[in-house]
Structure 1
């Protein structure tokens, strides 16, 4: 294992594109009230720009990846970036809620497919044993977008109007175009991975190991979102921070996600994804319990926000590396499709966490939202333990040829 190997330029190109996609996804969150007011729709309906984005991503990604299974990876990535640009420009030029929603859905489908296929490409560009670190580098572009995109987009949009940050996202077309060029130059021509017919790939959905890995991702990643969806009202209404300080603390959380993502990739590479996930899930459980108990206290909350952000997103490389490893063993002709299924699991986890949190908030139990996350972390232990036991009992079979 070569820990000192330099990152392939193609991985950097994928990370740049991931940053552009991440900003396009997250920038809407901070300006939803302005969008609702300007377009004359209820706030709950405007929230569909977030919820339907995640749903379109979860449903559309496996379908698109399945359709692209037999096409060369490099042209596919270039076309997905082009589709992302088209959806993003449509969103920026929207004059109605329907038009904006269509643009968001187009962007979401390109987003999910790019990450599903890009993760497998990043893994193939990495030195042996360093796939998790390469995936983490790519996902770092997404988490960096969260650090910069949400606070900056909220500040600009609430001060100058919601269209300004959306046009700023359209201006990222230049950045994404550079990423497009970089992808063309730096991602080498890759041999096609073995891909079976559609029925062969869909058979991955009947593999207990694939479904178990999806469950680990869905439950483990979704555990944070019952509370994180309402982190601003928690910080202002329960902890007692001002709105401005709460916005600043979101930057702290975002910075922690970036640190956690890179650190999580290193841990998954050095310890193995199974050990890394077991340890981080236990640490997340302890953190969420502490969050529930110490929510009224300012200083502990600041520290917990950083630890929470690092753990919540630090597991992402392990989740994705775990799915790729599982698919290579149990569904070798459907690796990209399995990667897409895991991208769906990430977003279904967000939906599950948000749904549980919303149900608790609707009953005036916002302070209890971290306990919903604790329950999801506990549930995630079962499929992960099964995967660990199964792996320890399996006997390596020499590859043919």
Structure 2
């Protein structure tokens, strides 16, 4: 993957910048509210506006741009993202800030999806999981460093400054992608084909696995800081270090899962969900003891993002020659899962207390595990790795391969074009 390293690095940095924008506002709510004359609760709607914009606009943008060349589309979406952050930085009032957030979010899911598709194209079909993990590590680093640093800058200087920095970084990413990314023609597909692929049972099951299984992480992680202070008895400073360990664990878990997904995405996914279910089920007794709680937080970090690479790899393999809409919807499903998990966790906290969010998370992760068996039969064969230039063969028992039945057709076709 040496020749593809500059492109992969540019995509990783782009995901870092876009991922930082997603949660940046959460650390700036008091400053935004004070400056724009709204309450903290109202200021929090800037987070909601970005999430809603991503979930709704993502599939629409993916369908409207399905026949456009991939590189040009990515550069355009990054430019729109930069413009949205510039509007947010210069917003004279809260409605304008909301408009900037929505504008920045419109291309989020599609841009994220295209980074994964292009990454697997330049890396080759046999390194799809590794390429996806490398790119999505940018999102992990955003949560680990980008969001806290942005919040610190906003608190020390002005809440507008982080948005200005994001604008500059987005323009830098645009330049990096323009230089490093290969020209990738639009796939020979249509809106009808993209919708048809999304509606197939394997793809729908993968999306459902994402939406349900990842919600288990959201149900717990949203309330992990107060749980560690109020139940486990850690100091706020100690919790900060534990969250740092969680972030480092997430980065490592994502990279390891990517390599394992190259061997067997289905087995990797089931293994992660099984371990996650057990860990979350043991969380209520573990948080009563500080050493056990620390180990549980590190374990949660290792497993939380380890579902991303195998799930996205499976989506790409099952989407055939029309992957953009399916991958975009799956990206939106991750965001939806986090939001739904947070709501479920809030219900558990209000009725039973912080200690018991792990049980809700375990139930959701177990549901994700069961859905993964429907998405990927246990003995599902790994996609062939023969040279795609070889002539196809048919027989009376083996029907010709089509775009809907060739799991890695898109990645191979685009990779061969680049070659």
TM-score, normalising length from structure 1? 0.90
Equivalent in the alignment of 2:338:
350
Q: How far apart are 1:190 and its partner, in Å?
A: 1.5
Q: Number of matched residues?
A: 389
Choose which of 268, 276, 299 in structure 2 pairs with 1:284: 276
Distance 1:38 1:400, change over 3 A: closer
Matched residues in 2 for 1:23 and 1:396: separation? 48
Matched residues in 2 for 1:9 and 1:93: separation? 33
Equivalent in the alignment of 1:324:
316
Over residues 253-282 of structure 1, what are the superposed CA-to-partner deviations in whole Å (9 max), with x where a residue is unaligned? 222221121111111113x11000000111
Distance 1:15 1:59, change over 3 A: same
Matched residues in 2 for 1:154 and 1:299: separation? 29
1:217 aligns with 2:210: yes
Q: How far apart are 1:46 and its partner, in Å?
A: 2.7
How much is the aligned-residue C-alpha RMSD, in angstroms? 2.3
Choose which of 288, 310, 326 in structure 2 pairs with 1:296: 288
Matched residues in 2 for 1:139 and 1:382: separation? 25
Higher mean C-alpha displacement, 36-45 vs 261-270: 36-45
Contact 2:54 2:105 (C-alpha < 8 Å) held by counterparts: yes
Tell me, which stretches of 5 or more residues in structure 2 are unaligned?
383-396, 404-419
Equivalent in the alignment of 2:125:
128
Contact 1:55 1:348 (C-alpha < 8 Å) held by counterparts: no
Distance 1:391 1:67, change over 3 A: farther
Q: How far apart are 1:162 and its partner, in Å?
A: 5.4
Matched residues in 1 for 2:145 and 2:168: separation? 18
Equivalent in the alignment of 2:182:
188
The structure in which a higher percent of residues are helix is 1
1:174 aligns with 2:168: yes
Equivalent in the alignment of 2:390:
none
Choose which of 336, 350, 359 in structure 1 pairs with 2:347: 359
Choose which of 366, 376, 391 in structure 1 pairs with 2:364: 376
Matched residues in 2 for 1:201 and 1:384: separation? 22
Equivalent in the alignment of 1:206:
199
1:54 aligns with 2:51: yes
Contact 1:35 1:162 (C-alpha < 8 Å) held by counterparts: no
Distance 1:229 1:95, change over 3 A: farther
Matched residues in 2 for 1:162 and 1:353: separation? 32
Distance 1:129 1:397, change over 3 A: farther
Tell me, which stretches of 5 or more residues in structure 1 are unaligned?
none
Matched residues in 1 for 2:25 and 2:285: separation? 31
Higher mean C-alpha displacement, 276-285 vs 107-116: 107-116
Contact 2:209 2:372 (C-alpha < 8 Å) held by counterparts: yes
Contact 2:266 2:378 (C-alpha < 8 Å) held by counterparts: no
Choose which of 226, 238, 248 in structure 2 pairs with 1:255: 248
Q: How far apart are 1:212 and its partner, in Å?
A: 0.6
How do residues 2-401 of structure 1 correspond to structure 2 at under 5 angstroms? 7-158=4-155, 160=156, 163=159, 166-196=160-190, 198-270=191-263, 272-328=264-320, 332=321, 334-363=322-351, 365-389=353-377, 392=380, 398-399=400-401
TM-score, normalising length from structure 2? 0.86
Structure 1 counterpart SS, 2:125? coil
Contact 2:211 2:333 (C-alpha < 8 Å) held by counterparts: yes
Contact 1:26 1:150 (C-alpha < 8 Å) held by counterparts: yes
Structure 2 counterpart SS, 1:314? coil
Contact 1:57 1:108 (C-alpha < 8 Å) held by counterparts: yes
Q: How far apart are 1:156 and its partner, in Å?
A: 3.9
Matched residues in 2 for 1:303 and 1:238: separation? 15
Q: How far apart are 1:136 and its partner, in Å?
A: 1.1
Structure with larger Rg: 2
Structure 2 counterpart SS, 1:392? coil
Q: How far apart are 1:37 and its partner, in Å?
A: 3.9
Q: How far apart are 1:150 and its partner, in Å?
A: 2.7
Distance 1:236 1:383, change over 3 A: same
Over residues 325-346 of structure 1, what are the superposed CA-to-partner deviations in whole Å (9 max), with x where a residue is unaligned? 1111xxx3x3111111111111
Q: How far apart are 1:393 and its partner, in Å?
A: 8.3
Contact 1:31 1:162 (C-alpha < 8 Å) held by counterparts: no
Over residues 261-308 of structure 1, what are the superposed CA-to-partner deviations in whole Å (9 max), with x where a residue is unaligned? 1111111113x1100000011111111122222112222222221210
Contact 1:356 1:372 (C-alpha < 8 Å) held by counterparts: yes
Higher mean C-alpha displacement, 86-95 vs 381-390: 381-390
Matched residues in 2 for 1:169 and 1:255: separation? 25
